Amino acid sequence: MRSRFPRLFSHALATVLTVIVSGYALPASAASGTPRTTVPLPELTALKTQLDRLAEQGKAGNAQYWYINAAEGKVRIAVLKGPLDVTTRSFLTAGPSDLTSTFTVDEPVRPYVSTATAPLRPPMTGSAALAETVYGGQQIVTQSGVYCTTGFNVTRNGQPAVLTAGHCRKAGITWGLAGQLLGRITDFHYPGGDISYITPATGWQHPSAVRQADGSIQPITRFGRPSINQELCKTGATTGTTCGTVVSLDVTTNYGDGPVYGLALTTVQAAEGDSGGSVYEGSTGVALISGGPEGGGDALVYPLP
Q: How far apart are CA 206 and CA 189, in angstroms?
A: 22
* pLDDT for res 14: 38
Tally of residues, the chain: 305
| 5 pLDDT more than 50 | no
Tens digits of per-residue pLDDT, 162-200? Answer: 999 999 999 999 999 998 999 999 999 999 999 999 999
State the first-to-last Cα distance of the chain, in angstroms, to the nearest integer.
17
Q: Which domains does the chain have, with CATH numbers?
A: 5-108 (3.30.300.50)
Percent of the chain with pLDDT over 90: 78
Work out the pLDDT band at 117, boundaries 50, 70, 90. low
Higher-pLDDT residue of 14 and 115 is 115
User: Are the C-beta atoms of 304 and 166 separated by less than 8 Å?
Assistant: no
Any idea of the CA torsion for 5, 160, 136, 119, to the nearest 10 degrees?
-100
Catalytic residue among 3, 248, 275, 278: 275
Q: Which of 10, 114, 167, 248 is catalytic?
A: 167
- Contact partners, residue 101, CB within 8 Å, separation at least 6: 69, 72, 74, 75, 76, 77
Among candidate residues 194, 196, 274, 278, the one labeled active-site is 194
DSSP characters for 57-104? TT--TTEEEEEEETTTTEEEEEEESSPPPHHHHHHHTSS-GGGEEEEE
Q: Are 196 and 163 in contact, with CB atoms under 8 Å apart?
A: yes
Which letter does DSSP use for residue 118 in this model? S
CB-hemisphere CA count at 13 Å for 276?
36
What's the pLDDT score for residue 40? 83
For 162, other C-beta atoms within 10 Å of its C-beta total 27
Q: Please confirm, yes or no, whether 275 is among the known catalytic residues.
A: yes
Give yes or no for a contact between 140 and 236, defined as CB atoms under 8 angstroms apart: no
Query: Using CA atoms, how far apart are residues 190 and 152, in angstroms rounded to an integer?
Result: 18
Q: Could you give the CA distance from residue 221 to residue 205 in angstroms, rounded to a whole number?
A: 17
